[in-house]
Amino acid sequence: MSTTITPDAAGAADTPATDAPARRLGRAARFVRPAAALLSGALLYLSFPPRPLWWLVLPAFALLGWTLYGRRLRAGFGLGYLAGLGFLLPLLVWTGEEVGPVPWLALAAIEALFVAAVGLGVAAVSRLPWWPVFAAGVWTLGEAARARVPFGGFPWGKIAFGQADGVFLPLAAVGGTPVLGFAVALCGFGLYAAVRPVLHHRATGTLPRGPLAAAALCVLAPVTGALAALPLVSDAPEDGTATVAAIQGNVPRLGLDFNAQRRQVLDNHAARTRELAAEVKAGTKPRPDFVLWPENSSDIDPYANPDAAAVITDAVDAVKAPTVVGAVIAPPTGKLRNTLIQWEPGEGPVATYDKRHVQPFGEYIPMRSVVRLFNSDVDRVARDFGPGSAVGVFDLAGTRVGLATCYEAAFDWAVRDTVTHGAQLITVPSNNATFGRSEMTYQQLAMSRVRAVEHSRAVVVPVTSGVSAVIRPDGEIVAQTKMFTPDYLVEEVPLRSTKTPATRLGTLPEALLAAVAAAGLGWAAVRSVRARRARP
């Protein structure tokens, strides 16, 4: 018996063999943009300290622009979320250093939602003329929201904080972290926008000159602006100089139980201070005008424990200089206070500053009963800290020193307030012992470098376990310690009173950039409505 295969049957028989590779290719193509979104986030992470790869932020934004360009809103949200995870999961891994992966994964998952919203917004504005400007504005708007909600916000990972070694850093003096971050995003999106006309030319032989010129301007404007802002970056001693000492006493053990041995942390810092006093007396170290101890350097309340007060007094009297001491104050009732105390030789405590922005889930526990279901470590914070209300500026031997305690350095307002209240120098006393040898301390140090340029002030960072550092107003680190090593730094630093445009303008640049984002989103919405109405 013979069988005749018709042309239709033959075509059907051939279809599986000829179309299978195409189908596989089509399925694989669906994963290209999600993979690119994850890669763009990973490049953002790699651009942050301790790696000196700040320039990776530009291909990161260019790749993110390609990923989101022309996408539908839902796709933009999903791709933005993947980019956020690629960025924030590795960046914030230190948050689970001692309490396990659940808090870290939860924090990264929640914070990535802000990047997802940015992805939606960038997709929405990507079809507009001059879209890189609006896309950079949307990124700035997303960072502004993330710095405020929930629980007072979490601005860790603002693009500006990865640019302490970058060419765009002078823009921090122009408009703070919002302008610096906007410029970086604009340049990165502009790079992708510049590639599009070139690819169009290769495909069609025609070159869209208008879009190419706009893209080139988006790339060149931030670079030109950074060069133009260089005169704002100065370390000239307008008000003379001060010799400052930063004490790093170290802790007896790493982790959450860094202060488990009663008074050991305090004794460590007192011992380093007495060593410095001995060197000053021997003439091998210059006499400091004032001394800065870290946050939590007194692990017991010196007001409630006479032995702690006596140890501090002995060290301060030995060094013969006003000293800022970090302590946890435990009043009989009410909430704890994370306090910096001005301790004068021969007088004792004369002034205090209570940390104004206490850390949620670290210094106080929101929704404690709910959080306990996911992590029993929540009850290690047995008594919540409460925030202070007054701006911290101490007069130390005639120098007005602004105080921003650890976590506060991430918040624009918490540092700016000290300068507008007359600070000639800024200190960021910190305790990073609970985060081990993670990248957290280097990320925080980069923040202080950006703050130095933003407000044109020297910044001194005393840390219990390191890295402690002295930073000049131009962002240069002139001295730093190693991690988990008892040490101290003594440096002469310039004092300044000039207010940069960023200091004077405050939140205005951020508000204007948010308005740019809102205008772009509104324009995109109007165009979308008109397009739907025009359909037959």
Q: Which residues are catalytic?
A: 295, 355, 406
Query: Are the C-beta atoms of residues 375 and 99 closer than 8 Å to each other?
Result: yes
CA dihedral 326, 242, 280, 475 (to 10 degrees): 70
Backbone angles phi, psi at 254, to 5 degrees: -80, 165
Write the CB contacts of 46 (distance below 8 Å, at least 6 apart in sequence): 53, 56
Tokens of 200: 């169009």
Q: What is the rounded CA–CA span in Å between residue 336 and residue 311?
A: 22
DSSP code at position 516: H
List, in sequence order, the alpha helices (H) in 47-171.
Answer: 57-68, 73-91, 101-125, 131-146
List of residues 6+ apart from 98 with CB closer than 8 A? 255, 256, 377, 434, 435, 436
Task: Report helix, strand and coil shares of the chain as percent, to nearest 5.
Answer: 55, 15, 35
Bridge partner list, 351: 342
Handedness of CA 447, 449, 454, 457 (dihedral sign): positive
Burial of 320 (0-12, 13-18, 19+ CB in 10 A): middle
Distance CA 425, CA 349 (A): 21
Structure tokens at 188: 């990165």
